């Protein structure tokens, strides 16, 4: 179960994280840095190390790719 960010728990975009940062008083520069850190962490996932194979592994890869794209927008 995900905690809502700016009232959303699904399909979070960069603007949702920006709104959340503003809500909690996080400076814009710090928010951008945190977003970059999260994107870099997501990009460094070693899919071959996950306990999934074949179709489930492709589903995980696709979902993470989609979420990274949404966060970058």
The predicted-structure confidence for 23-53, as pLDDT tens digits, reads as follows 899 998 998 898 888 788 877 878 778 787 8
Contact in structure between 47 and 57 (CB atoms under 8 Å): yes
pTM over 0.75: no
Q: How far apart are CA 71 and CA 27, in angstroms?
A: 18
User: pLDDT at residue 18 above 70?
Assistant: yes
Rounded to the nearest 5°, which phi and psi values hold at 5?
Answer: -120, 120
Contact in structure between 9 and 3 (CB atoms under 8 Å): yes
User: pLDDT at residue 1 above 60?
Assistant: no
């Amino acid at each position: 179960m995900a905690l809502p960010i700016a009232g959303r728990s699904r399909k979070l975009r960069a603007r949702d994280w920006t709104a959340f940062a503003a809500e909690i008083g996080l400076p814009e520069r710090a928010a951008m840095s945190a977003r970059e850190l999260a994107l870099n962490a997501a990009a460094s996932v070693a899919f071959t190390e996950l306990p999934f194979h074949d179709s489930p592994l492709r589903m995980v890869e696709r979902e993470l790719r989609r979420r990274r794209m949404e966060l970058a927008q």
